[in-house]
Structure 1
Amino acid sequence: MTLTPESRQLLPVATKPSHARGKRVAATCYWKCADACSHPVPNKSANEYFRDIASKAMSRRVLLGGAAVAASAVVVGATVLDQDGAAQATTLGEHGGRWPGHGGPGGQVKGLSFGPIQTQDAAVDAFTVPEGYEWSAIVRWGDPILPGGRSFDAANQSPEQQKLQFGYNVDYLDILPSDPRDQKNMVETRRGTRGLLVTNHEYTNREIMFPAEMDAAKGRAIERAAHGMSVVEVARRREGQPWSYLRVAPRNRRIHMETEFVVDGPVAGNDLLKTVEDPTGTRVRGTLNNCAGGTTPWGTVLSGEENWNGYFKVAAGNPRSQRYGIGTAATRYGWELDDPRFDATTPGYENEPHRFGWVVELDPYDPQAAPVKHTAMGRFKHEGANIIVAPDGRVVAYMGDDEAFDYVYKFVSRNKMKPGDDRRSRAFNKTLLSEGDLYVARFAGDSPAAEIDGRATVPSDGAFDGTGQWLPLVVDGVSHVPGMSVAEVLTFTRLAGDAVGATKMDRPEDVEPSPFTGNVYVACTNNSSRGNTGAKEAATEMNPRNQNRDGHIVEIVEGDEQTGTEFTWNLLLVAGDPSVNGSTYFSGYPKDKVSPISCPDNVAFDLKGNLWISTDGQPSSIAKCDGLFRVTLTGAERGKVEQFLATPRSSEACGPLVDLRDQMVYVNVQHPGDDGSFAAQTSFFPDYVAEGATPAAGDWRGPRPSTIQVYKKRR
């Protein structure tokens, strides 16, 4: 393709959009999600208001394993209290509703002891941890991980070198044991002294990556190589000590926009996926905007393709594309200037956008295995996918669609997991996500509509709670959406959710089941459009605050039947800084004793059963740095929020991993210094120079997204 002088120019970053509040900067919104919050909401369906559904025949009840218990029962965490306050045991089936072989939270494992840190001003360029802890980077953007890779040189980057180096903005994170037979789950795994670090690379920001004189086409090629995923072998002397990454190792791997993916499931080979480049509809080059993910019990990693819509240009007047927010103008990344498949108006490439928006499965133990895009799990803006083993042995994956007024989904595998750790069992388990049933959530509140005032005022019954249903989209290989085939339901899943009347949520991002209780936690990051003039929906009991800039956490109680279609729910917290925002709620825990928290994004669990939340916009009401927070889920301290760490200016914490066996915490730090430029950087994370020192001659100083480990100070 011939480049005109105009096409060689870097696209400028827009001025700060009105929705960028608190510590969020314009560049992050611009590159990460194409300023999604400043555009009209893609969901224009006329689904019933939540409060209208609540007034119908769905009675106020608490369901446990499909059986109704007393209407006066209150669900608190994993424990059901009867009307006299006596604890009733909850049984979770043969597999405990958890990962096989788990004995429950707590045990002899020591909890993480720390004093909560104070919130850090958004201008602070520091990685802040509690007293008694220290931190270091395991691997950074540009670190060489494959043979031929050179040490990072900001002034001499190339697409060829980036393919051999650790990618850019890091999101999902796990460290798997060196032997897949030792893999249990993110909570239980004993990681030993050798492991595999797996992470996503979500997006790029050319303004701070490249010098102004960089050839634009070359820069775009580097960006395509910096997207995707990385697998890096790591080692340490003994458990509990910091890891180092291995620069050259047999299982090190880079996944980027030229990596070939296999498509499986009901849509594989369908006309909806065929292009001139791939007339079979079964092979796709690359993966885009990979956000959160999940680790499976058989030792593979799931990755969610999230804001992929911003990379494509489509023809006007296509309602299917409009529902996914795909634009008709030149894209911000400009990749269509180099590769026609990103311009879906090009004959033969009309279906290329249909080939993104899936859950990806990667086997980090087999560098030769092609990663898989699972069409049975539906296509939308996947934040991630997190799995739990149901009592009957099938696996259940929970997923959120990260868009204002979009939905929460559940996938139930057709086949049961084989519990063995031999090669044959593992090979079979890698097929579990290829066939199954897909559902979308409808919630109902149990409080009068007048009590939901848009200010998160707690209803008269003392809680935000109610019942819900998993509405079938595809079950037993049959579409349950009138007028849509199975392939259409799975390719245009948002439209299927609209058709069956799913509940509109406030940007449901990470959706993760507790490995101890089976309860499911939904991080609703925010929704500044709720209740606005012209918006489809005002506050509901499930989303109780208008102009919800701080977000909230939903707790879904599935009971014994993890594969069932009825559930109960309650709100764990309505986030914000209680000192400046009265519209907050922490399950009744005193507001003056919590760390301010805003915009929950990713969630994880520790061996004590605590929930850990990383934030993206902390807090939106005042400009403070993002961080990682521990939340107690049971007992008198349910709802207690404690901040463990804070990330540098403009950045967020992603992919939290809390390993109590090692007393270590891991996070990915994404988009540090996004508000700078190559010539005028605003962050120097993680390679800070000691106060009073000067960098070595020729050293480049600028932010490098990195995987970080936090551990007790060594004496």
Structure 2
Amino acid sequence: MIVTAPTTRRSFPLLSLTPVHNGGRDRMTCQYRCGDACFHEIPNTSANQTFREVVNARVSRRTALRAGGLGAAVVGLAGLGASAPAAAAAAASGGGLFTAIPPTPRTTDNVIVPDGFTWRPIISWGDPVEPGAPAFDFWNQSFEAQKGQAGYNADYVTLLRNGNGGNKAVLVFNNEYTNDEIMFENISSSNDLTDEQLRIVMAAHGMTVVDVRRQNKHEAWEYVRNGRTNRRIHAWTEFAVSGPAAGHSALQTSADPTGRLVLGTLNNCAGGVTPWGTVLSGEENFNQYFKADEAADPDGKLARYGIRSAGRGWERVEERFDVAVEPHEVNRFGWIVEVDPSDPTSTPVKHTALGRFKHEGANVIVADNGHVVAYQGDDERHDYIYKFVSKEKYRQGNGHRRHNMQLLSEGDLYVAKFVGDGMEDGEWDGSGTWIPLVVNGESHVPGMDVAEVLIWTRLAADKVGPTKMDRPEDVEPNLHNGRIYAALTNNSARVEIDEANPRLGNKHGHVIEMTEDHNDHTGTTFRWRIVLLAGDPSDPSAYFLGYDREDVSPISCPDNVAFDPDGNLWISTDGQPGTLGNCDAMYLYPVDGPQAGHLQQFLSVPVGAECCGPYIDLHDNTVLAAVQHPGEISGASPSQVFSTYPYLGDGQPRPGVFHAYRPKGNGKGGGNGKGGGNGKGNGKP
């Protein structure tokens, strides 16, 4: 099938693309992504210090200093024109590997990549994955088909190599959530879904694992239909429960009185790859799938996790999603899950030792002393950053894989507190402490035992005084420099915006870097600094490690982060259409050396879509990204389509994963996304 991107940019009414709150998202995104979290009270009502209180005085002072005393604080967050910086960014060098592209207007229905590059879809929602799964038919979907077809709304993406000169691999990606009104005809809300459609939606959640291959490094990756490792993980896949909370009464249900076997994984967002070759995935906004309006909540546990009836309707076909009927089922979600992509018959695991909250993901590093350390973010306004340290040590070699796959089942759990050190050094920086929650198998939280700390980690952390953060999303260690980077996407709850403090709303978000003291990732103290204050370069409050503003790209709402083989930070965004007026995008952001702070936009995704992933190895000619929720605009439906990505000719948007690369030769014509595919993404052997 020929894949043809539009040759002209489609334009849509501006009103339909206007978000209804400060988070930068469309109303439809808010509904299906997180159950309208920004329209409800913040679950964290503790008196713990916010990160804004740590840095606010220094931000205000530095903003004024950087503006030469010309009243920089009165620069508004609206009307941030990007024309001059965009022109400069378009001419900026991507470390010699690409030429940065200018921002893409938010109404553009194209994938845009740099000159000399092209792109191809690898796999999209509904493509057959498991044996017997039929080809996708948008107008004749079925529950049985969806269980064996690629899931919806890819988020985290990774590639695991398995030989043949690097031209065979396994692709793993999360399937975070669904857009019911776009998936089916005549749906104005989830109440209109039939039981069959509800089951299709549930089956489209989870994770997808597929074999992929290419002819050589100048050709596109394509997925292999009926590949050996191909697998769909969905709402009925069996998961084992590991760690100290396994079997606890709060995890026991009528269907599983042992509390050790859970069906499904929900709202899987970011993730990471372990040194032993498994994939970690975070269960994020799981709260929205449960009906809770008739459930008692005397101790506030449901409220602290934002468990409320969001109208998804899953309880109509599975009573376990009605908290009043099955009060413990909700406790079986909100974990880090581990999947072995090499074995499609293996049972995935939910690790209770890493705590339960709205996990964006988990990423690990092996400390110098051999212990495995996992860093995690709780993606909620005013929630926390966590660290887990394994009890046992990592052992190298395939012969120790069984041992290593138990490392996340037992260990110590900490939560971060940030302290500023003043402006004398001219930086937004300071020190930090990892406050213990569980150490050596003992609880450090008054009034809570170990299992309670791990099942209700948010409430446990509230008691020990960590720092409230602005939506900690991806938190990932850089294996080159050992430092840890956290994307803080934004915080729409910072509504006390005034001209002197434009960052109090934190509309654009930022990235923070943490350095463990003595390079000991198992230690309890660290240093921190802000390395990116996102925004338009013309906004004096934006910060790019001091790099010349004329040569950097605009950016807003950093979400997923990743590192290439050279240790460069890459950032994908979620929310730019509503904050900068641009399509969401992927950026290169060096954090060391003479190019540190030289932010350069590599690609952009179509109208209504979020840029997810990413996976980057430009030396291998591989950049993978996920186009999540293309055309997700209020009012969208199968009869009113705002995007037709991946341009397969069926006229409907299908979220999925694509490969951006340099074709053999000069690759001219790839920069505007035209001719973005040649059908190889169908994966037919």
Letter in 1 for 2:426: G
Distance 1:304 1:554 in 2: 20
Residue 436 of structure 2 is aligned to residue 475 of structure 1: no
Aligned-partner SS, 2:579? coil
Return the letter of the residue paired with 2:641. Answer: Q
Provide the C-alpha distance between the structure 2 equivalents of 1:125 and 1:158, rounded to a whole number of angstroms: 28
State which of 574, 582, 586 in structure 2 corresponds to 1:616. Answer: 574
Alpha-carbon deviations, 1:349-394, whole Å to 9, x = none?
1111100000000001111111000000000000000000000011
The alpha-carbon deviation at position 53 of structure 1 amounts to 7.7
Post-superposition offset of 1:620: 4.3
**1:652 paired residue number:** 610
Q: Distance in 2 between matches of 1:294 and 1:570?
A: 23
* CA spacing shift, 1:122–1:678, aligned 2, 3 Å: same
Report the alpha carbon displacement of residue 29 of structure 1 after superposing the two structures with TM: 1.1
| Aligned residue number for residue 454 of structure 1 | none
Counterpart among 97, 103, 120 of residue 119 in structure 1: 103
Q: Which residue of 2 aligns with 1:701?
A: 651
SS in 2 for 1:219: helix
> Which string of whole-angstrom CA distances, capped at 9 and with x for unpartnered residues, describes residues 548-582 of structure 1?
11000000011421110000000001001123x33
The answer (yes or no) to whether the contact 2:556–2:580 under 8 Å persists in 1 is no
- Residues 52 and 711 (structure 1), Cα distance of their counterparts in 2 relative to 1, 3 Å cut: closer
What percentage of aligned pairs have identical amino acids? 53
TM-aligned CA deviation for residue 112 of structure 1: 6.0
Structure-2 separation of matches of 1:124 and 1:162: 30
**Are 1:18 and 1:38, in contact at CA under 8 Å, matched by a contact in 2?**
no
How far did residue 421 of structure 1 move?
2.1
Give the Å deviation of 1:269. Answer: 0.5
User: Are 1:262 and 2:240 counterparts?
Assistant: yes
Please name the residue that 2:119 is paired with. Answer: 135
Shift in CA distance, 388/316, structure 1 to aligned 2, threshold 3 Å: same
* Counterpart selection for 2:351 from 367, 371, 374: 374
Query: Post-superposition shift, 1:240?
Result: 4.4
Residue in structure 2 matched with residue 521 of structure 1 by the alignment: 485
Aligned to 1:484: 448
Q: Per-residue CA shift, 1:400-449, capped at 9, x if unaligned?
A: 00000000000000000011123xx01110000000000000000012xx
Does 364-373 or 653-662 show the bigger shift?
A: 653-662
Tell me what 2:472 maps to: 508
Distance 1:414 1:126, change over 3 A: same
Is this contact kept in 2: 1:556–1:569, CA < 8 A?
yes
1-side partners of 2:32 and 2:55: how far apart? 39
Aligned equivalents of 2:311 and 2:553: distance in 1?
37
Give me the whole-angstrom Cα distance separating, in 1, the residues matched to 2:278 and 2:17.
Answer: 41
Cα distance, 1:280–1:605 mapped onto 2, change above 3 Å: same
CA contact (8 A) 2:375 2:475 kept: yes
Within 1, Cα distance between the matches of 2:356 and 2:553?
Answer: 36
Residue from 316, 339, 352 that aligns with 1:337: 316
Q: 2:645 aligns with which of 669, 682, 685?
A: 685
CA 1:338 to 1:50, structure 2 compared with 1: closer, same or farther past 3 Å? closer
Aligned residues: 601
Q: Structure 1 regions of 5+ residues with no counterpart? A: 1-13, 56-109, 180-189, 448-458, 689-694
1:216 to 194, 208, 211: 194
Map 1:155-234 onto structure 2 (within 5 A). Answer: 155-178=139-162, 192-212=166-186, 216-234=194-212
**Which residue of 2 is the match for residue 462 of structure 1?**
426
1:552 counterpart residue number: 510
Q: 2: distance between equivalents of 1:46 and 1:303?
A: 31
**Alpha-carbon shift at residue 649 of structure 1 (Å):** 0.5
- Structure 1 residues 590 and 247: alpha-carbon distance in aligned structure 2, compared to 1, 3 A threshold: same
| 1:145-204 deviation line (CA, Å, top 9, x unaligned) | 11111111111000100011101000111111226xxxxxxxxxx971211111110000
- Closer, same or farther in 2 for the Cα pair 1:529/1:229, shift >3 Å? same
Task: Name the CA distance, whole Å, in 2 between partners of 1:204 and 1:265.
Answer: 30
* Cα distance in 2, alignment partners of residues 333 and 226 from structure 1: 14
Tell me the equivalent position of 1:68.
Answer: none
**TM-score, structure 1 as length reference:** 0.81
Question: How do 1:312-711 residues align onto structure 2 when only pairs under 5 Å count?
Answer: 312-314=290-292, 315-318=295-298, 319-327=300-308, 329=309, 331-346=310-325, 349-422=326-399, 425-447=400-422, 459=423, 461-530=425-494, 532=496, 545-558=503-516, 559-579=518-538, 581-618=539-576, 620-675=578-633, 676-687=636-647, 700-711=650-661
Q: Is the 8 A contact 1:442 1:471 kept in 2?
A: yes
What SS does the aligned partner of 1:428 have? Answer: helix
Give deviations 1:222-263, integer Å, cap 9, x for gaps.
000100001101111223431111111221100001111000
- Counterpart-to-counterpart distance in 2, 1:276 and 1:17: 42
Aligned AA (1:209): M
Whichever structure has more helix as a proportion of its residues is 2
Matched, 1:18 2:20: yes
Residue in structure 1 matching 2:228, options 233, 247, 250: 250
The residue that corresponds to 1:85 in the other structure is none
CA pair 636-659 structure 1, distance change in 2 beyond 3 A: closer
How big is the shift at 1:637? 2.8
Q: Which amino acid in the other structure matches residue 624 of structure 1?
A: N
Distance in 2, Cα, partners of 1:677 & 1:350:
35
User: 1:714 is matched with which residue?
Assistant: 664
The amino acid that maps onto 1:584 is A
- Which is worse superposed, 389-398 or 559-568? 559-568
Relative contact order (alpha carbons < 8 A, sep ≥ 6): 1 or 2 greater?
Answer: 2
State how far apart, in whole Å, the 2-side matches of 1:606 and 1:466 are.
Answer: 27
Task: Please point out which of 258, 265, 269 is paired with 1:280.
Answer: 258
Tell me the distance in 2 between the aligned counterparts of 1:292 and 1:257. 18
Letter in 1 for 2:374: A
Alpha-carbon distance between aligned partners in 1 of 2:207 and 2:427, rounded to the nearest angstrom: 41
Structure 1 contact 526–552 (Cα < 8 Å) conserved: yes
- Distance apart, 1:529 and its partner CA: 1.2
Cα pair 2:18 2:578 within 8 Å, conserved: no
Query: Residue 215 of structure 2 aligns with which residue?
Result: 237
> Aligned partners of 1:666, 1:631: CA distance in 2, in Å?
17
Contact 1:31 1:332 (C-alpha < 8 Å) held by counterparts: no
**Contact 2:49/2:468 (CA < 8 Å) preserved in 1?**
no
Q: Is the 8 A contact 1:177 1:191 kept in 2?
A: no
Q: Is the 8 A contact 2:153 2:177 kept in 1?
A: yes
Counterpart contact for 1:381–1:401, Cα < 8 Å: yes
The CA deviation at 1:54 is 9.5
Shift in alpha-carbon separation, 1:198–1:247, aligned structure 2, 3 A: same
Are the counterparts in 1 of residues 20 and 26 from structure 2 also a CA contact under 8 Å? Answer: no
Q: Is the 8 A contact 1:111 1:660 kept in 2?
A: no
TM-score by length of 2: 0.85
Residues 241 and 350 in structure 2, CA contact (< 8 A), matched pair in contact too: yes
Please tell me whether the aligned partners of residues 175 and 191 of structure 1 are also in contact (alpha carbons under 8 angstroms). no
Question: What does 1:42-53 correspond to in 2, within 5 Å?
Answer: 42-48=43-49
- For structure 1, which segment, 559-568 or 354-363, has the greater mean C-alpha deviation from structure 2 after superposition? 559-568
